[in-house]
A and B are shown apart, each in its own frame.
Chain A
Amino acid sequence: MSQEKKHDLDDLLESGEQTEGSFSITMKPVRRKQLRFDYWTGLFVLAGIMFEAITGPLLLYYYQAGNPYGSTVSIVQTVPLGGIILAAHLYMAYAVILLLFVHMFRNYFVGAYRGAWRWAQWMIGLLLFLVVYSIAVIGYILPEYYIGVDAVHITMTLIERSVIGRVFPALAAFLVSALVGNATTLQAWQHFLAMHAILLTGLAFVLIVVHFFLFEKSGIHEEEKTVQNEKPVPVMPVSMLNSIFLASAFIAVVLIVSALFPQGLLQGYGVPAYGLLPFPDWYLMPVYKMMDVAGLGLSTGGVPFLGILVIIAFLVPFLDRYKGSLPLDRPLFTAMGIFVILFLASMTLWGYAQPGLSQTRPLTLMMFGGMVFVSTVSVYAMKYARRDLHE
C-alpha cells in the first residue's frame, strides 16, 4: 500500500509552480465525499449542452430557414434517424432547462454564491441561465409550429408595448428588426437560426468557459470543517471518470425517455392552426401566465415584476449578509427562494388550468400574499423550532 506515494498533480498544486510542458491551470482535486452526484448538478447541465451541440449541427444539415415547417416534416419523416435526433435534441433541451433550475436553486439554498470569486460565478451563471433560456425559446420557434410563431408575436408585442417600447421607441424598432428582419419567413427564420445556432450559442460558450474557470478557481462549495482533513482524490483519473460516468448515465436516461415518448409533429402555423389555443412549453408557462394577471399584465406589471426578480437574483451575493451558510441560518434568503419556487410552480399549474383567462386584482393579491406568507412563516417556524430543539 502506498500511503506516501503522492499523485503527480498534488506536487503541482502544492508547489504552485509550473513544471515544463504543463499548463498553469490544473483541475482542483476533489474529496472522496464530494463524488456524490448532487454535487455535480453543473456537470449534468454541461453534458446536456454538449449533447445539444452535437445533435444540433446534425439537424442543421437538413433544416432550411426558407421552409421551416416543411424541412422539419422532412427531417422527421424522410431523413434516416432524423426523428429521433430531433426528439433527443428536444428532450435534452427540456432536461437542460430543468437541471438549470435544479443547479441554480441547489447553489442558492446552500449559499454557494458567497466567497472570493463565487459572486462572479453566480452572476455569470445567471447570465448563462438567461442566454440558455433564450436559446431554448428560439429553438421552439424554429420549426414554425403555431406555438412558436405565437411566441414571436408575443415577443414583438412585449418589446413594443413594454417599458422599452414606450420610453425608447427607436430601440424597440431596432430590436424588432433584429429579431424578424423584414418579417418574411426566409429572413425571420434565418435570423432565428443565426441566433439559435451561432450568436447566442457562441455567447453561451464563452460564458461557460468563464463560469467553468471560476469553478476551478474556487473548487466545490463545501462546509470547510466536514472535509478539511480528508485526503483528496486526483482529478485524473478518478474525478474525471466519475464525471464521464455521471454524464453518460444521464444522457442514456434522456435517450430512453425520447425513445419511449417520441415527440410527434405539432400543428404548423397557418390556416389549419387557426383558432387553436397556444400553449407555450412548460418552462415559459409562468411568464405566459403572468400576462393574464390583472394589474400585473404584460405591459404594466408583468415585465417589471420579472425584471425586479432577476435584478434581485443578480444582487443576491451582495445582499446576503448572514454569517452562517446553512439554509436556516439565512432565513430571509431561504424564504425568498421558496417563494420563487412556489411562484414558478403555481403559475405553471394555473397557466395550464386557466390559460388566457384574466385574473382579478384581489385574487392576484391574495395569491401572492399567500405565497409570501407560506414561504416566510414556514422558514422562520423551522428556524425557531430548531433553536428550541437545541436549547
Chain B
Amino acid sequence: MPGGIYMNKRILSLIGLQFLLSIAMWFFSFGVNFNNERIWLLLLAANVIVFSAIVYILMRGFLVSEK
C-alpha cells in the first residue's frame, strides 16, 4: 500500500530498540568512570543511529506517498 508509513512493525521495533538502549544507558550511568563513559557514549551513538533509521524510514514512506 503506497503511503503506508505510519506505525508499521519496523518503526515500532526500532522504537523498542531505542527503549532498550536507553535502559542500558541508564544502567551504565551508575557510578560513571572513565572506562564505562566510552560504553555510554557508544550506546548514545547507537541510539542516535536507530533514531536516524526511524527518520529515514518515515522519509522514504512520505516520499513514496508523494509519487
Using CB atoms and an 8 Å cutoff, list the residues of chain A in contact with chain B.
1, 32, 35, 77, 80-81, 83-84, 88, 233-234, 237-238, 241-242, 244-245, 248-249, 251-253, 255-256, 258-260, 262
| Contacting pair B52 A249 (CB below 8 A) | yes
Tell whether A256 pairs with B56 under 8 Å between CB atoms, given A81-B32, A237-B62, A238-B62: no
Interface residues in B, total, Cβ within 8 A: 25
**Which residue of chain B has the shortest Cβ distance to A248 in the bound complex?**
B52
Known pairs A248-B49, A260-B42; list 12 more (Cβ under 8 Å).
A77-B34, A238-B66, A241-B55, A241-B56, A245-B52, A248-B52, A249-B48, A251-B48, A252-B46, A252-B49, A255-B44, A259-B41
A35 proximity list for chain B (CB < 8 A) = 63
Instruction: Kindly count the residue-residue contacts between A and B in the assembled complex, taking CB atoms under 8 Å apart.
Output: 70
The answer to whether A241 touches B41 (Cβ under 8 A) is no
State the majority secondary structure of interface residues on A: helix
- Of the residues B29, B42, B59, B66, contact of A245 by C-beta under 8 Å: B59
Q: Once the chains are docked, how many angstroms separate the CA of A80 from the CA of B23?
A: 18
CA distance A88 to B38 in the complex (A): 11
Q: A233-B63, A234-B66, A245-B59 are in contact. Are A84 and B49 (CB under 8 A)?
A: no
Q: A88 touching B41 by the CB < 8 A rule?
A: yes
Q: Given the complex of chains A and B, what is the CA–CA distance between A259 and B42 in angstroms?
A: 6
Choose from A80, A241, A253 the contact partner of B32 (Cβ within 8 Å).
Answer: A80
The distance from the CB of A179 to the nearest CB of chain B, in whole angstroms, is: 34
Interface-centre pick from A81, A88, A234 (highest chain B CB count, 10 A): A81
The docked-state distance in angstroms from the alpha carbon of A338 to that of B45 is: 36
